[in-house]
Every structure is written in structure tokens, then in C-alpha cells.
Amino acid sequence: MNMRTRKHGETALFGALSGAVRSIAYKSAAVVGITTFASAVLASAASAQPIRHDAEHYVLLHQYAEQWAAEDKELDRRLAEIRERNDGKPPNIVYILIDDMGFGEFGMPELNKIRGGRTPSLDTLAKEGMTFTRFYAENICTSTRVAFMTGRYAVRTGMELTKVTPPEGVGFNDKEVTIAELLSNAGYTTHHIGKWHMGDIKEAYPTNQGFDYASFPMHNQVAYSFLTRDAELDARTTSFTPTTVDPDYGLDKTFRLYDWVTQVEGKRGGKLREWGIKPGEKPDIEFYKRVNDRFQEQAVESLRALASGDKPFFLNYWPQIPVAVLRSTDDGGCQTPNCGRWANAMAVVDGYIGELLAEIKKLGIENNTIVMVMGDNGPMKQDLELSGYSEWLFRGTKGQALEGGHRVGAFIRWPGAIEPGSIAGDMVFVSDLYTTFARIAGNTDGIPRDRIVDGVDQTAILLKGDTNGRRDYVHLYEVDTLKATVKQNMKIHWPPPGVNPAMAEFYNLYWDPREDNPLKYQGVWAGTPFVRMRIQHLRMKDKWPDWQPARGMPYEGVENLRPETKAMVRTWLKIYGDARDVVLGVEAIGN
């Protein structure tokens, strides 16, 4: 048992198990034969090099291998027919990830009417495609983005901790094989526009992770909102800008760092250039608005450029709004009857998406373009009061392993392939998109086999509809701690180390989707199979340990750094020194 496992408190947890429960759990594993069966699958056709999945997938594969193999032949025929109708070209993919929007806040007009929100463009997209009702993201920004890009739980990559205060000096590891790289190797042109939030070091830049072109903010929205004078005047932050630092007692002039890189653009493997800001300029809310409008313009420009080429394309667009901690949209009038800050901003994002959908139709590429829109996690708890939103269908917010932290709205349109107006109740995890898009693009072989890939191919749901999913489980983490596990409609909240597992809380999510009232005795039967799932999941992590993030010099490769940014980085390097990894949360979280 390695140090990482011990950090999860498994020694204490397993020690608390009664002998009988432990025996049953291990016998259950033996009966199902997870390790044996997984090894047999991996060795049965060395030439095929099967993808290594998490333990629970082999429980399902043990039961459905023959059925799914036959179904895969049918799906391959369907995919070939779709390509044939489009001159042998695989579909373009437009993937839009919306920040901090919980389930039911867009694309569902019945719920929008209750809330007073309006998202007509997304409502139309949903009618023309498929709505997912059990779509799980990770519960925080960076983690969901990493899980989508790699097909893996964020904790496996070392990128499970969201960084908020620049600079960072850590980021995405170049050992990861991203969805952009898979699609690029399948012949796609790849562009990324908007939020990235996966590191400010060279190897983490999207242009070094498979994208031919990218324009993105170097950090997340905190750099534009909380760390400004506007935020202080709006009582969103305190004592940060120089005007609010006590000149008599603020001895340490390095306690606050300013002048980070804002937004940059560049091409694959090349230098980046910061744009939209001049030396000496300080970001404010008007700056943030201009940047967001420019990202939208760049998304439309990219769409036109990509459509004019001969290759299929992948456009990855991650808007910074509706995050609206400040007045990030025009608050002069209400965008919706709700009129909350975030609800107003969501209406603006809906307009952005409507513009892209109209452009796709105008360019004549609608019939061979997949458009996917989803949220990245639940709402931000700290800003619910003025957002216009609240915890409602599900309890929990961003950062929590409750359903409200993970369950998000998700919609996908693929004319001629996905039945319009369809609804899928199958469980889907964000990493499944990695494996699914790779298959649709024709590059399943490019998915790495030297690591665990959590993403499950869900092409069958898209082409055959509801009840054709290949997942009925998901493990839910808060940072690097396994906090809950969902299996079918049952959920367990794992007790902390040192607490007897018999004290775990069980929920029937059909009865209690808000997780307000743990079952008293009706879920006792689920303890043993859930413990078996946990043991096998963590055993796999022992065999294929979690990775560390990459570390490096912030902003390396940005060719036009402002003088004040260069000075700030020199100060950062000098002051943080040997404490750098701990301060950044790298060593502190056990990586």
C-alpha cells in the first residue's frame, strides 16, 4: 500500500472493517474475478491492446462483453454510413464548456420558466439533439477540464487542485495524451478559444497540448475579478490593491503580487503573444468585458477559418462568462426576468452560442458538425446571493461531492445521427467524451494503453438512444480524497479515516436527489458491494499510481512580456524559493 493510498486513510478504513465484511468484500472480488478478468482481457489479444479502464468497468464487461462486441460492429457500420454521406469525412466537433452552471439553468425551458431565466438558443439545440439527465462532471473548474482533455479522473493527473492566484508555476503534464492530440492525429484541425485554467507553464499551454491555434487567458477569472480595484469597490475583495495597503504597517512589499500575464494567443509549438493590454495598464471590469467579447469574435473567426479548410475540425470554446462575480455584463438592464448577475450573463452566453449555431448553418456545415454544450460543475457557493441562482434540484455546489456539485446540464446535436428531442437517462461522466469523440473521429487506437483511462465509449447512446449506456457508476473526489461513490441509483458518502464504515451514509437518489435524508436501514445491503468497489478502485490506483503535475517557469515562451510582469516573476522566484511547491499546493496535496 503506497503513501498515496495511506493518505486516503485506507489503512484506517480497512482496519475498521469487521472481519466478516472484509471477507465478504474480498470474496465478492474473487467471484467477479476483477483482477483476473481484467488481466485476461488485456492479455487475450495483445495485438489489439485494449484500453485499461478502472476496475468497475470490468465488472460490467464480464457481463456484457459479447453483447457490446456485437453492438460495436453495428455501430461501426453506422459510423461508416454517416461518413459516406459526408464524402468520407468524419464530423466536425464544436465543444462548448460553460463555467459554474448547475443542472437545469440552461437548455430546459420548463425549468427556466420557474427560475425566470431564458436560454432560447440552448433550448433549440436541445430540441434538435439529445438532453442528458445524468451527466456527471468533476466538481470544480480545472478538474473537469483535465478530465475532458485526458479521459481520466483529474486526481490521476495531479491536476485536481484548482489554482486561483497567479502566478502558479505548475500545469498539465506533457505525458498526457489529450483529446486534441487524438483528433489532430486523426486529421483534424484543432483550435481552442477561451478559458484554459490548466497551468501557466510552457508544456501546459494548449498550443503544446494538441491545438493548432489557441487564444486563452493565462489564468482563471479571479485575475480579472477578485484581484482588481473594482472588486474592492464592489466589496468582493479587500486589502489587495496598493491603494488599500496600510503604508505604515504593510512591511512586506511582496505579500501581494501584481502584473501577471492576462490573455495570450499563438500557434502550435510556437511563441505566445499577450494581447489586449499595454505596459502599465491594470485590468478592470471593462477590460474583462472587452476580453470576453473578443473571445467570442475569435470563436466565430475560428469557425469560419476552420470551415474553409478541407480537413475536419475541432473547435474547443470555453467562455469565461457567465462567471459574473462583478458586473461582467451590461447591468443597465435585465437580460431576463430573473435579472440576477449570473442569470444575466448566462443570457449573454446563450446569445454567443446562438451566433455560433447560426454561423454553422450559414457555412453549410450543420449536417456534419457535432455541437456539444455542457456545464463544468455546480454553482459557486460564494456568489449565490446575487447570482440569481441557488441550490434547488440537487443539493451542493462547486467543490463538493454532492450531486449539486457534479450534475450538470449537457446537450449534444448531430444531425442525421442523434434523434432530435431525445433524452438519455444513462449515466455519463465527462471523461467518456474523450473516448467517444476519439472513436467517432476514427482514432481509438491513439488512446494510450500505459495508464488507466476512465472514459468509457458512449457512442451507443448517441446512435441508438436511451438505455444504451455503458456506465452505471462514478467515483466522486474532493481534491484528492474519495468522498462518494455512485452506483446506479444508489450513493454512499464515505466516512472520514478512523470512522467505522458502518457509519457511512447511503442514499437512494431516486427517492432523495438532494441527499437530505440518509437511509436509516434500507440501504444497509449496499455496504458490501460499495466497499468492494472502493477496494478495487484503490488497488488499481496502487498499481497505476496518480501522477504529478508538471512544474516550470511561469510564462515561459510568451515573447512580449510587459516589463512589470518580468519584474514580478523575478520577485516570485526569489520570495517563494524552496517553499514554492508547498505554497502552490503541490506537495501539500500529496503529489
Q: Which one, of 444, 410, 409, 420, lies nearest residue 366 by Cα? A: 420
Could you give the CA distance from residue 407 to residue 395 in angstroms, rounded to a whole number?
10
Tell me the per-residue pLDDT of 28-58, one tens digit each, with 9 for 90 and over.
333 344 444 444 444 344 336 899 999 999 9
5-19, 302-316, 379-393: least confidently modelled range: 5-19
**The pTM of the whole model exceeds 0.75:** yes
Could you give the CA distance from residue 157 to residue 98 in angstroms, rounded to a whole number?
22
Please say whether the beta carbons of 323 and 219 come within 8 A: no
First-residue to last-residue Cα distance in the chain: 16
Q: Which pLDDT does position 9 carry in this prediction?
A: 40
113-117, 430-434, 465-469: least confidently modelled range: 113-117
Please say whether the beta carbons of 568 and 260 come within 8 A: yes
Tell me the per-residue pLDDT of 215-245, one tens digit each, with 9 for 90 and over.
999 998 888 877 888 888 888 888 888 889 9
Output the nine-digit C-alpha cell for 265.
Answer: 494567443
- With a CB cutoff of 8 Å and minimum separation 6, the contacts of 16 are 498, 499, 500, 501
Q: Which one, of 424, 220, 438, lies nearest residue 323 by Cα? A: 220
Please say whether the beta carbons of 309 and 190 come within 8 A: no
Q: Which pLDDT does position 228 carry in this prediction?
A: 82
Q: Which pLDDT does position 298 carry in this prediction?
A: 98
Tell me the per-residue pLDDT of 95-116, one tens digit each, with 9 for 90 and over.
999 999 889 999 999 998 899 8
The 10 Å Cβ neighbour count of residue 450 is: 10
Q: Which pLDDT does position 344 carry in this prediction?
A: 87
Q: What angle do CA 463, 374, 413 make, to 5 degrees?
A: 35
pLDDT band at 134 (very low <50, low <70, confident <90, very high): very high
Could you give the CA distance from residue 226 to residue 165 in angstroms, rounded to a whole number?
10
Q: Which pLDDT does position 577 carry in this prediction?
A: 61
What secondary structure does DSSP assign to 264-278, as a single string? EEEETTS-EEEES--
The stretch 279-286 carries a mean pLDDT of 90
Greater model confidence, 72 or 380? 72
Greater model confidence, 578 or 75? 75
Assign 425 to helix, strand or coil.
strand
pLDDT band at 507 (very low <50, low <70, confident <90, very high): very high
pLDDT band at 207 (very low <50, low <70, confident <90, very high): very high
Could you give the CA distance from residue 126 to residue 55 in angstroms, rounded to a whole number?
33
pLDDT band at 569 (very low <50, low <70, confident <90, very high): very high
The stretch 336-364 carries a mean pLDDT of 92
Helix, strand and coil in the chain, % to nearest 5: 40, 15, 45
Output the nine-digit C-alpha cell for 244.
Answer: 488599500
Where b means 16+ CB within 10 Å and e means fewer, 291-319 reads bbeebbebbbebbeebbeeeebbbbbbbb
Q: How far is CA 273 from CA 288, 335, 364, 450, 559, in A?
A: 18, 34, 33, 35, 6
pLDDT band at 328 (very low <50, low <70, confident <90, very high): low
pLDDT band at 403 (very low <50, low <70, confident <90, very high): very high
pLDDT band at 253 (very low <50, low <70, confident <90, very high): confident
The stretch 549-577 carries a mean pLDDT of 91
Output the nine-digit C-alpha cell for 87.
Answer: 464524402
What secondary structure does DSSP assign to 31-65, as a single string? HHTHHHHHHHHHHHTTTT-PPP--HHHHHHHHHHH
Q: Which pLDDT does position 254 carry in this prediction?
A: 87
